[in-house]
Amino acid sequence: MMLPFAASLEFVHTYSLIHDDLPAMDDDDYRRGRLTNHKVYGDGMAILAGDALLTMAFELCCHHADHNGVTANQQLHIVRELSYGSGHQGMVGGQVMDIQAENREVELAHLQKIHSHKTGQLIRASVRIGGIIGGASSIQLESLTGYAEDIGLAFQIADDVLNMVGTREELGKDAGTDEQRGKKTYPSFFGIDGARQLGKECVERAVKRLESFDHQADPLRHIATYIIERRS
Amino acid sequence: MMLPFAASLEFVHTYSLIHDDLPAMDDDDYRRGRLTNHKVYGDGMAILAGDALLTMAFELCCHHADHNGVTANQQLHIVRELSYGSGHQGMVGGQVMDIQAENREVELAHLQKIHSHKTGQLIRASVRIGGIIGGASSIQLESLTGYAEDIGLAFQIADDVLNMVGTREELGKDAGTDEQRGKKTYPSFFGIDGARQLGKECVERAVKRLESFDHQADPLRHIATYIIERRS
């Protein structure tokens, strides 16, 4: 039942990585241990690959009525969540703020705002879409949204720490790039141990948000813990 | 009633122009008499502007049930048409073929295939979406689809002719660029008069497809004629 909607989110995620890696954006040569899309196929093809994936993501959400128990209205709701999370109010908006912040002094509050858009909103959309398909009540959706926001922040903190302490072999991409670029990160504000502690607190808060859910929410609890324990 | 859906199509169109103008694609400096997006804001911002517009296009199609008489199922149908016309099976697919055909000998049949995807599929989606909202029967939708395919071809032929005979003032962008780039066009196959004649025949065929429609289809008849008479 979840499959086409999970694929949609994966497509949006992949499109965003392909476009982010472009020379006009982050200019990254490696991703997941392999050359990035534009290094292999050229910039034009990479832009088009991203465009095609983004478009397909929406197509995959829109079936005929009552697709495997997901009603037409739920499908429309899913498209709205997906576009909100990935578009100018979400991921793309965060990317814009990120470009605008280049070579400027960034305060912590602004850094958090950038991240909550750049990575947080798509995680939020993913969790909420799962809730919508599962028929969550509005109170449950509220809890899930809080959970998603907390793990989104934890994810970004962990990412910053990994960029600092990970190796290229572990990460599948170049390590230490944030520091080279003079990019403000959580470790640059709190030190590595401080950032790790902050990440841990986010995960604890996230898990607490799921208190009213039974064992069916265990995968979400595992994901929260995995986020700060992962090595890549 | 039509407004959000018309805006969706305009957003997709604008996104495609912004991305097409990028240095990694057609590398155009002018559009509609003004500097292109990337010339003003940089390549990164232009990529993001396109991404945001494309995403918003889908958001605009997906309201709550029965939005101004457009049912949830019709809205899902519209998203499918829009993504089909703009994605890898449509516009983006045509763009990919166009890049692959660069600096190669292209035969007429292949040129038509490229154009039917690059520009034709989005015109097809636009006309079909109008039909869906208007509650067209499947036979009527079939006629409208044929009409759209004919005007799509006429549009491309007229565009090729204008690129050759128009001035930069008229076009709002550089003229004669196809010839400079050694690009195969309809005039390069048929000469200017031959291409014009071909365009005229397409429009006649398109108007004939609307025979079973009354005066309500007059705007479509006017659009067909306008396509080959326009000067920019």
The ipTM of this complex is 0.91
In a domain, residue B11? The reply is no
In a domain, residue B93? The reply is no
In a domain, residue B158? The reply is yes
In a domain, residue B6? The reply is no
Span A106-115, average pLDDT: 92
Interface touch A55/B24, C-beta < 8 Å:
no
Degrees, nearest 5: CA angle B41-B47-B51: 125
CA distance B69 to B4: 13
Span B187-199, average pLDDT: 94
CA dist A100 to A96, A104, A105, B223, Å?
6, 8, 11, 42
Q: How many domains does chain B have?
A: 1
Q: Which domain holds residue B195?
A: 136-232
Is residue A63 pLDDT above 90, yes or no?
A: no
Whether residue B2 lies within 8 A of chain A, CB to CB, comes out as: no
Joined together, the tokens standing for residue A160 give 């910053």
Is residue A175 pLDDT above 80, yes or no?
A: no
In a domain, residue B10? The reply is no
Instruction: Assign A133 a pLDDT band (cuts: 50, 70, 90).
Output: very high
Burial class of A185 by CB neighbour count within 10 A (0 to 12, 13 to 18, 19+): buried
Q: What is the pLDDT of residue A1?
A: 52
Q: What is the pLDDT of residue A65?
A: 73
Q: Which residue has better confidence, A183 or A8? A: A8
Interface touch A65/B72, C-beta < 8 Å:
yes
Q: What is the pLDDT of residue B199?
A: 95
Eight-state DSSP code of residue B213: S
Spell out the alpha helix ranges (H) of B21-134: 37-41, 43-61, 72-86, 91-101, 108-115, 121-133
Of B15, B19, B59, the CB nearest to A80: B59
In a domain, residue B107? The reply is no
Eight-state DSSP code of residue B98: H
- Mean predicted lDDT score pLDDT of chain A: 91
Eight-state DSSP code of residue B67: B
Q: What is the pLDDT of residue A33?
A: 87
In a domain, residue B35? The reply is no
Chain A residue with Cα closest to B76: A62
Q: What is the pLDDT of residue A2?
A: 61
Among A81, A70, A67, which Cα is nearest to A9's?
Answer: A81
In a domain, residue B131? The reply is no
Instruction: Assign B1 a pLDDT band (cuts: 50, 70, 90).
Output: low
Instruction: Assign A87 a pLDDT band (cuts: 50, 70, 90).
Output: very high
pTM across the whole model: 0.92
